[in-house]
Structure 1
Amino acid sequence: MIVYLLIGTFAVLFLLGVPVILSITLPSVIYFLLKHVPIDIVAQRFHYALNSFPLVAVPVFILAGNLMNSTRHTERIFKFADSLVGHLPGGLAQVNIFASLIFSGMSGAALADVGGLGQIEIKAMEERGFKKEFAAAVTMASATVGPIFPPSIPLVIYGAVTGTSVIKLLMGGIMPAILAVVVMMIITAIIALFRNLPRAESRAEFAVIWANFKEALPSLLAPVMLVFGMLSGYFTPTEAASITVAYLLLISIFVYRDFNFKALLRATYETIRSTSAIMIIVASASLFSWILAVENFPAVVHSFIGQFCENRLLLLLFVNVLMFIIGMFLDSTTATILVVPIIVPPILASGIDPVHLGIIIIFNLMLGLMTPPMGLSLFLISDIAKVPMGKVLRNVAPYFIALVASLLIITFVPWFSTYIPGVLMGK
């Protein structure tokens, strides 16, 4: 009975608008008081939750993304993408999506993508004749590839929580992210034909593309080096992230010569702030999950999910619906720490590949970022673009359908998630 009281308390506090960290922590405190559990267990559980090597990669990935934001790396990438695909139907909307795939190879987070490229992309699209609400919608939708394509902070946290190989998860996200980008670019071309969206009058000359490529090449090599470093087995995700940060600093100092200490301090401050928020949620959510485990709540969930295990199609549909609903209310970190340890074991017991399952879960949580009532990407892009959320939602609807279609393909064709990890690392 007490476990349902705790869950109910959490739900009520969250729906009343209490910050998620307090909504998680207060029920845990109530449990400790009611059960007379020694208070030092809290410190032990916090230490256990955070004493995880894969989690070390999180602040380093965040720092890499913040360094990209604090310098002109994002502008160079956007300029190169513009010369490469700006002539396609949809013009800068296509550039927006394509640039997000490149930038996601650095930031590892949807909100970093929105914050890093959002202002540049929206301003550029508005100057080319696009409506601001459409530009905001494209930016928000394209940012969903960030947490799927490596490096991915949500996938790192998922791997740490479930014990799944982080490298396999990161490699498993490559093809699903590319699939989502291709589908969104097709949808953009269709929208462009119906709305007569502006685009470059002609394909950029090879000399222009080459010049922009040479200028952006040092920045482009950062995600390439990171991904291939992990693919080759030379680097762990943490080592790859650290080397990428060092590389970004070196090219800013010696190649582009645009490095300044203010930018470094700003990037460091944002990294500390973001990491602190993530880690306190990880610690508190882990404590709440431990309480649920002590009260044998996972056994109840296991029994419920067991009803779907005989039909794998039905089970996968259940996972998608459940995680999408959860993503509408909880941020990806909280949802991963709270929900994933409970639902994943019985699902894996049915024979579903852990990498495939991880991609499905994180993809759903990313869709939740752009969905009311708690979509953080929706709030952020609305604030950046100074556009009402209702207008953004109306314009993002075709892209939402495209992303759901991509998710269904990934769900029912496991090959997209498992092929690269299987070839490179074996089963």
Structure 2
Amino acid sequence: MSLEAFYAVSALIVLLLTGIPIALALTLAGAFGLWLLDFPMLVVIQRFAAGSESFVLLAIPFFILAGAVMEAGGISRRLIGFCDACLGYLPGGLANANIGASMVFGGISGSAVADTSAVGSVMIPAMEREGYSRRYSAAVTAAASPVGMIIPPSIPMIVWSYISGQSLNELFMAGIVPGILITLALALVSTWICQRRGFQRGFRPFRAGFFLSSLKDGLLALGAPVIIIGGILIGAFTPTEASVVALAYALILSFGVYRELSPRKLAAVFVQAGKTSASIMFIICGATVFSFFLTVSGMPAQIGSLILSVSETPLGFIIAAGLLMFVLGMFLDTTTTILMAGPIIIPLFSQVGVDPLVATMVIMVILAIGLITPPVGLCLFVVSSITPVKVWDVARECVPFILAMTAVAALIWIFPPLVTWVVP
């Protein structure tokens, strides 16, 4: 590592420890590093602006807004109700309904944090009323929410496509099977835990009337993920176009069918979605500045050589790369982790001989695990804000789910066709 890189990385760590926004820390640290390398400060402005100049990134604000409209317009509540009607009569049914709802809502918003908030605010109180412990209810919600970044659409995959040049359509389609596998694995673990702990008060007989009523109420809501994923799968529209279609569909349902969204309420939704989108784009722009500095300083090549020196075999590489992403994901949000570590490991795919699509899906699962791993697992903090339970208590309850997700990552690596089926 060069002296300039050491100073800039140290500056970034100090800035992050002071608690200033991550985007600002990345920008300042990158600017400091470029100054040390005698670059004109105009380069900082140019790289910052270039960070948002990608058509692919246009999907981010539209998917975020679509998810926010669906939550405010009653669509997400109907989706959750339908999942409850399908699974709530099974042993541990409410917990599995929670997991299923996260998968369905993840097929709309593409955000694990939005998934945690939308599903958790409804399902955690419902699970507590049925006799589930508060800690376990929060843990199920936190563990299931990262499915939203695996099931398409996925905001982290949009960012990954932006920095790697991989087809976003292929990434989205590659995430379908892993997302379903994670959902099934979490449901199996949840059922086992519920049976061991006696969480059976949520057990109720299947009622056809209740199921049909929930189906009727949520049928149009179920159309949202079907249209998004199905439209991309058959090539009806690109992922970016799908984000606009999702928003239009959400507005039509919320205003014209369910009539739960007023112009005043919509204005508040736009403001909140705008804040979320702006924060993500600011991070992307700041990370672009810092990544440019790292590139010109030669640090990615040095770290890449270090990874290859550990092992040049595909398995050794994916373990080393996975550990790097996991450690960063414990302290940084997913977008920042991808933007910082992606440029380091992506060029190594071809050198090691791994399939980029398979390696990307394994890394996405590892990043999902980071969202429920202390000290900065975002989903843990979101559920802790919804219900009064300590972050570390939720984290301990998440351990079995983390093991299940790790097993799915290993399965993807062992059986690549689970992912590569999307490639002609």
Which TM-score applies when normalising by structure 1? 0.95
Give the one of 190, 195, 199 matched to 1:193.
195
Alignment check: 8 A CA contact 1:305 1:347 kept: no
Alignment check: 8 A CA contact 2:89 2:203 kept: yes
Matches within 5 A, 1:198-237: 198-237=200-239
Give the one of 12, 15, 22 matched to 1:13.
15
SS of corresponding position for 1:87: coil
Aligned match of 2:289: 287
Relative to structure 1, the CA distance from residue 199 to residue 68 in structure 2 (aligned partners, 3 Å threshold; closer, same or farther) is: farther
Alignment check: 8 A CA contact 1:28 1:288 kept: yes
In 2, distance between residues paired with 1:208 and 1:396? 32
Which moves more between the two structures, 238-247 or 250-259?
250-259
Aligned match of 1:100: 102
Aligned match of 1:415: 417
CA deviation after TM superposition for structure 1 residue 331, in Å: 0.6
CA deviation after TM superposition for structure 1 residue 238, in Å: 1.1
Give the one of 339, 342, 346 matched to 1:340.
342
Give the one of 164, 184, 187 matched to 1:162.
164
CA deviation after TM superposition for structure 1 residue 144, in Å: 1.2
In 2, distance between residues paired with 1:224 and 1:93? 23
Matched AA of 1:257: R
Deviations 1:208-261 (A, max 9, x none): 212211110111101100111111112011111101111111122222222211
CA deviation after TM superposition for structure 1 residue 102, in Å: 0.8
Aligned match of 1:259: 261
In 2, distance between residues paired with 1:378 and 1:103? 18
Percent of aligned positions that are identical: 36
SS of corresponding position for 1:317: helix
Deviations 1:9-58 (A, max 9, x none): 21233244443223322222323433342222122112222110100000
SS of corresponding position for 1:38: coil
Which moves more between the two structures, 195-204 or 169-178?
195-204
Matched AA of 1:332: T
Aligned match of 1:385: 387
SS of corresponding position for 1:257: coil
SS of corresponding position for 1:339: helix
Aligned match of 1:117: 119
Alignment check: 8 A CA contact 2:44 2:289 kept: yes
Give the one of 175, 180, 183 matched to 1:181.
183
SS of corresponding position for 2:309: coil
For structure 2, the residue ranges without an aligned partner over 5 or more in a row are: none
In 1, distance between residues paired with 2:153 and 2:31? 35
CA RMSD of aligned residues (A): 1.6
Which moves more between the two structures, 8-17 or 216-225?
8-17
SS of corresponding position for 2:305: helix
In 2, distance between residues paired with 1:364 and 1:120? 27
Matches within 5 A, 1:32-43: 32-43=34-45
Structure 1 outlier segments of 4+, above 6 Å: none
Q: How many residues align?
A: 422
Matched AA of 1:278: I
In 1, distance between residues paired with 2:349 and 2:373? 26
Matched AA of 2:145: A
Deviations 1:267-323 (A, max 9, x none): 211111011101111011111111111112222123223225631111121122111
